Structure 1
Amino acid sequence: MFAKGQQLFPDSVRMAVGLSIATYSQGETERSEQLLVRACDINPADITPYLFMGRLQEAERIEISGWRERLHRFSLLEPDNPLAHYYYAVALSNKGQEAAQDSAMEAELQKAVALDPQLGAAYLQLGRLYAARKDNPAAIAALEKAVANLPLPDEAHYRLAQIYRQMGDSDKARQEIGLYRQTSQQRTRQEQEQRGEIQQFVYTLGGPKPDAPSKDSKPR
């Protein structure tokens, strides 16, 4: 359906994203990734493909050709959108931990949490960054904020346990491991439901389905 729709309406962002979703759900990962790149370029001001790209990137955690550049553009087009800065920071983390990349990532994450102090995922990324630098006080502070603002902060608990173990605080490490096990079980159940949700993501963003189009109408 989406392939036919894209043929009829090649300049429709929604059709391009829908086709990407359909191919991703069928396991055609590489094709889906490049369809998203194209969707971002049809109308760069439309945030829908960037948001979907960001969600997929969080799950994959790999460097995908063309995505970092599009998410950078998203952060420039939407400077007041915390997710734009967060997703670009994740793209930078996938690229590697060179000094310049490291500083740019931290700056983007700081922008994200300044715009949305409850963005727990950004605090988690900051915790990872500071832990890699061996800055334990900063890492603990960021990870505790992640715990406070994420619905299932399993990774934050795990990383806190590692830091406390390195610091020789076995009681706190044991407590965090217990919390990690509890929340990771909840996450496993949640992830079983997410595959269906990701297929509906574009519709949620796009609002209710439009009425059947007339002969001369075009999709948004």
Structure 2
Amino acid sequence: MRNWRSLAKLFYVALLLPLSPASVGRAQEDAGRIEGSIRDQAGSALPGVKVTLRGEGSSVLDSTLTSPQGRYLFASLKRGVYGIEAEAEGYQRAFQDQIALNPPQKVSVDLSLAKTNTRVKQTPPSGEGADILSQEAAFSDAPKFKQSAIESSVDPGGYSTPGRTETTNRLLQAAAQLKAESARSGTDAADKSKTAQKKNLAALELNLRQVLRRNPNTFEANHSLGEFYIQQGKLALAIPYMERAQQIQPSHYVNSFDLALAYIGIQDLSKARNQIQQMLQRKETAELHNLLAEVEETAGNYLVAAQEYQRAAHLDPSEKNLFDWGNQLLLHQAYESAAQVLSRALELYPRSAKLLIGLGISHYSRGYYDDAVKVLCRAVDLQPNDPRPYYFVGKMFNVSETLSEDVTRRLAHFVRLYPQNALANYYYALSLWKGKRGEDSQGDLNQIESLLKKAILLDPGMAEGHFQLGVFYSNQQKIAEAIQQYEMAIKLQPDFANAHYRLGQAYQRTGRKAQAQKHLETYQRLHSAGRPEDKQVIFTVNEIPR
């Protein structure tokens, strides 16, 4: 997992740079700029529109893509006459010329794009076109090896920052894991098929090699052996044959695409980038832009990655592409823009649990807690037997007083479905205990204790579970039991600041002043260093029961 503790904020600033006056460059006070917005005829902002700046003789000087708010900016311009051109698939091109600029003048040029009457159809087509995010396109599945059981997905991971956004960051870390879920579906059948054919693999490999020896310069022989190794997960062995096949037939899309995925699989990002860019020169497809975005994100080129995700979503507004774009905005704290993208995506895919989860996170991050709970509960209701949406609802146990019963009811169902799931027991306990703020009744205390004890029994390494059980015992004036749980939480997670604080208080109450002072000082050190004050349970897809 990549930790973007401070990088996420920096990237978000960069992402919105075209809208910021600081981006013009204060050292160039005598420079002018042309800025504006691109909208459709209904007045809605159009993100991802290509805007071109032209000079004398219609020469191209620069180009950019509009922001999620439909804005663009060309800065540091000299005195002259310019033209602005905007184009997007599914829309008629718009142009305004004879724009006189006298620095430090700022000129605003807004353009409106009219829809074309023709439907843009992607290749290979796999569904009806849909008018969303200013595009009409067919849908495609997640990028994967075209003729093999090997799936490839680059996991962006998450980041954490201290303070108010701690819960948001935990949600984002988990949401980022959903990005790879579509690529994992169907692997059970593939695994069974592999098992059934295992005895024949050696004979098949020998046969393919014999064919290649007889026909060393044919595309089919090299490609087939390369794909065979890809299916076995032997990417390093596959690559030379795929490269040879590409030399013989460079326009073969499947071979070229699988070769790019193989490069990613062995973490040769430079070759993967070059491979994808060469393919884009031959034919532009959404899945290539999405794949290039993953390469750039893995390489740390976050601004480029965001632009590629956005371009992919415009070329093909599939559920995956729209989620990837919205997820990228979430990861970089562009919550308002993420909400717009995910809301419009849900108009097309109203039964998408992961889109609902993303929208719920964007609501939570902007302080719309009731809306967040409602949306996340919808995600649970769409897939009531799937454990994953419950994890996100569980993190909402105390954010909405008016909807606390809705959360508790769903978490109770979670425990009934998965009684041996540690987090199911943990979140249900917290919901019963802390869900209704300000009420004297805190639920059945025996049930809460039983659920917390079961959670740490099922997962002894859950530091947060031990901590919360310690708080529970402290509230019941069971100080010795509380100390035991705090100590275990710290043993499991030495930088758990609040556990040190609570343990210090408990030691004070028992007269152990030296030990109390030690843990209170540790709390102060961790707190001042910006460590998370009250960590929630971190989980990944690998920890979620299938």
So what's the TM-score if we normalise by structure 2? 0.33
Q: Bigger CA drift: 71-80 or 46-55?
A: 46-55
What runs of 5+ residues in structure 1 fail to find an aligned partner?
207-220
| Residue 349 (structure 2) aligned to one of 1, 6, 9 | 9
| Residue 79 (structure 1) aligned to one of 410, 419, 440 | 419
Query: As a proportion of its length, which structure holds more helix?
Result: 1
Give the whole-Å Cα distance in 2 for the aligned partners of 1:45 and 1:152.
36
Same amino acid, percent of matched pairs: 33
What's the offset of the Cα at 1:109?
0.7
Corresponding residue for 1:123? Answer: 466
Closer, same or farther in 2 for the Cα pair 1:189/1:177, shift >3 Å? closer
Alignment of 1:56-67 (within 5 A): 56-57=396-397, 60=399, 64-65=403-404, 66-67=406-407
Q: Bigger CA drift: 49-58 or 111-120?
A: 49-58
Q: What's the CA shift string for 1:80-100, capped at 9, x where partnerless?
A: 211111111111121467475
Closer, same or farther in 2 for the Cα pair 1:159/1:119, shift >3 Å? same
Closer, same or farther in 2 for the Cα pair 1:99/1:42, shift >3 Å? closer
1:42 paired with 2:382, answer yes
| Residue 172 (structure 1) aligned to one of 508, 515, 518 | 515
What's the offset of the Cα at 1:155?
1.2
What's the offset of the Cα at 1:189?
5.0
Q: What's the CA shift string for 1:17-52, capped at 9, x where partnerless?
A: 122122223332221111111111111112222112
Paired residues of 1:3 and 1:19 also in contact (CA < 8 A): yes
Paired residues of 1:63 and 1:91 also in contact (CA < 8 A): no
Give the whole-Å Cα distance in 2 for the aligned partners of 1:126 and 1:13.
32
| Residue 457 (structure 2) aligned to one of 99, 111, 114 | 114
Closer, same or farther in 2 for the Cα pair 1:159/1:2, shift >3 Å? same
What's the offset of the Cα at 1:205?
4.5
Paired residues of 2:433 and 2:442 also in contact (CA < 8 A): no
Paired residues of 2:342 and 2:358 also in contact (CA < 8 A): yes
What runs of 5+ residues in structure 2 fail to find an aligned partner?
1-340
What's the offset of the Cα at 1:75?
1.4
- Structure 1 runs of 4+ off > 4 angstroms? 60-63, 96-100
Paired residues of 2:432 and 2:442 also in contact (CA < 8 A): no
Give the whole-Å Cα distance in 1 for the aligned partners of 2:496 and 2:400.
18
What's the offset of the Cα at 1:183?
2.1
Paired residues of 1:113 and 1:122 also in contact (CA < 8 A): yes
Give the whole-Å Cα distance in 2 for the aligned partners of 1:21 and 1:180.
29
Corresponding residue for 1:27? Answer: 367
Pick 1 or 2: higher relative contact order, CA cutoff 8 A, min separation 6: 1
Paired residues of 2:504 and 2:520 also in contact (CA < 8 A): yes
| Residue 156 (structure 1) aligned to one of 496, 499, 502 | 499
Give the whole-Å Cα distance in 2 for the aligned partners of 1:48 and 1:189.
27
Give the whole-Å Cα distance in 2 for the aligned partners of 1:61 and 1:175.
37
Give the whole-Å Cα distance in 2 for the aligned partners of 1:22 and 1:111.
32
Query: As a proportion of its length, which structure holds more strand?
Result: 2
Q: Bigger CA drift: 83-92 or 46-55?
A: 46-55
**Number of residue pairs matched?**
195
Q: Which amino acid aligns with 2:457?
A: A
Q: Which amino acid aligns with 2:461?
A: Q
What's the offset of the Cα at 1:130?
0.8
Closer, same or farther in 2 for the Cα pair 1:34/1:189, shift >3 Å? same
Give the whole-Å Cα distance in 2 for the aligned partners of 1:23 and 1:129.
30
The structure with more radius of gyration: 2
Q: Bigger CA drift: 21-30 or 118-127?
A: 21-30
Q: Which amino acid aligns with 1:182?
A: R
What's the offset of the Cα at 1:71?
1.2
Q: What's the CA shift string for 1:55-96, capped at 9, x where partnerless?
A: 3447x4967431111111111111221111111111112146
RMSD: 2.7
What's the offset of the Cα at 1:152?
2.9
Secondary structure of the residue aligned to 2:384 is coil
Paired residues of 1:13 and 1:43 also in contact (CA < 8 A): yes
Paired residues of 2:373 and 2:400 also in contact (CA < 8 A): no
Paired residues of 2:361 and 2:372 also in contact (CA < 8 A): yes
Closer, same or farther in 2 for the Cα pair 1:29/1:173, shift >3 Å? same
Corresponding residue for 1:93? Answer: 433
Closer, same or farther in 2 for the Cα pair 1:17/1:160, shift >3 Å? same
